[in-house]
Structure 1
């Protein structure tokens, strides 16, 4: 399983707009082949910093999502709201508590 984190810093006045975009697309993302989990988190000290955390069966499933029309349209609406370049990384779990 691949675990994906994307940290995004938004313009402070654009956080509500981002949350609307996320809420409109989250069920569609969760329905993508291979998506097992998706959550949105917010930094408790920096309310304009959000992170998505998702689980994918394979890297191919994640890449298929990233190549989809859903991702392209959602990302196009999201990236114009950024205050900083996003940081994305994929990991694998080595131990489970």
Structure 2
């Protein structure tokens, strides 16, 4: 399993639109084959900055999602709301404590 982290910065006037849109797509993303976990975070100080954390069974699952019509539609809509270039990382989870 590995984790995909995406940092997105939104134009403040587009935040509510983004959140409403994410609400309509989050379960579809989470239910995509290979996705085991999905969360959305908001920065406490810079409230126009958001992060998605998603856990994937394999890198090939993420690639299948990134090549899917679902991703193409979600990303095309979401990127309209940005005010800065997004950043993304794929990382291996080494330790998890509960």
Q: TM-score, with normalisation over the residues of structure 2?
A: 0.96
CA distance in 2, matches of 1:78, 1:36: 22
> Quick check: 1:14 aligned with 2:14?
yes
Number of paired residues?
97
What SS does structure 2 have at the residue aligned with 1:51?
strand
1:45-71 per-position Cα deviation (integer Å, ceiling 9, x unaligned): 011100000000000000100111011
> Quick check: 1:64 aligned with 2:32?
no
The offset of 1:94, in angstroms, is 1.5
CA distance in 2, matches of 1:14, 1:36: 28
**1:75-94 aligned within 5 A:** 75-94=75-94
Structure 2: where are the runs of 5+ without partners?
A: none
Structure 1: where are the runs of 5+ without partners?
A: none
1:17-73 per-position Cα deviation (integer Å, ceiling 9, x unaligned): 111111110000111001000000000001110000000000000010011101101
> Quick check: 1:32 aligned with 2:32?
yes
2:46 is matched with 46
Q: State the Cα RMSD in Å.
A: 0.7
